[in-house]
């Protein structure tokens, strides 16, 4: 597998995010022996990688540590990293949220030709999305015509090629995330959707499986 696998981990001793990442990386490695795993984290989290927690991240081939303000909450630090991955990690990658379990060989991702691809949220058309009303509410808060969208993509698994357009996408995504905080939108998926709209729907469909 040539495509890197990227996780973002922000965690303390008082949560289970590191344990989730460990299980996800284990499942990935079980079915994909040659996977190259990049763990993107912040300095506060990296300082906790001792003892058992150090063992839990041992499946990662590379750890990238970013200095972020300690005034940010863990959730804010995690989403700052997630919306900046493309400009912090070089090479084509598949981003995977830490709560994802891999159940088979996924080396076929090397054959994806899209610059950026994701699955539709709930694997359905936006009109049939059971969370449509909530999505519409957040879209209106972010001030864009979400009502006209046919697809609303999930940001938990994203394939991203290393090209200028995707680096620009991530710059805009991070900017939209931070603008959303001012309008009380704290999730990263609404700003992901708005960025796709602003970039003329650059996101293509990732195979559902």
pLDDT in tens, the chain (209 residues): 999 999 999 999 999 999 999 999 999 999 999 999 999 999 999 999 999 899 989 999 999 999 999 999 999 999 999 999 999 999 999 999 999 999 999 999 999 999 999 999 999 999 999 999 999 999 999 999 999 999 999 999 999 999 999 999 999 999 999 999 999 999 999 999 999 999 999 999 999 98
Where are the alpha helices (H) located in the chain, listed in sequence order?
Answer: 17-31, 43-46, 51-56, 74-82, 132-141, 164-181, 189-198
> Cα angle vertex 99, ends 19, 83, to 5°?
110
93-96 and 153-160 strand pairing: antiparallel
What is d(CA 198, CA 209) in angstroms, rounded to the nearest whole number?
27
Query: What is the pTM (predicted TM-score) of this model?
Result: 0.95
């Amino acid at each position: 597998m040539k495509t890197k696998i990227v996780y973002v981990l922000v965690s303390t001793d008082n949560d289970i995010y590191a344990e989730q990442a460990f299980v996800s990386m284990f499942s990935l490695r079980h079915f994909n022996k040659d996977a190259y795993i990049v763990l993107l984290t912040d300095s506060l989290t990296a300082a906790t990688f001792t003892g058992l927690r150090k063992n839990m991240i041992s499946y990662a081939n590379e750890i990238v540590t970013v200095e972020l303000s300690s005034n940010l909450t863990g959730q804010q630090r995690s989403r700052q990293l997630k919306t900046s991955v493309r400009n912090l990690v070089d090479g084509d990658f598949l981003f995977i949220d830490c709560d994802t379990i891999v159940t088979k060989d996924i080396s076929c991702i090397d054959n994806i030709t899209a610059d950026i691809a994701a699955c539709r949220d709930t694997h359905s058309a936006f009109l049939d999305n059971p969370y449509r009303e909530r999505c519409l509410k957040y879209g209106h808060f972010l001030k864009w015509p979400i009502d006209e969208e046919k697809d609303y993509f999930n940001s938990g698994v994203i394939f991203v090629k290393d090209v200028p357009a995707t680096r620009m996408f991530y710059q805009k995504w991070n900017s939209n995330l931070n603008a959303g905080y001012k309008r009380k939108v704290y999730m990263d998926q609404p700003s992901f959707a708005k960025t796709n709209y602003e970039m003329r729907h650059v996101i293509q469909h990732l195979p559902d499986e």
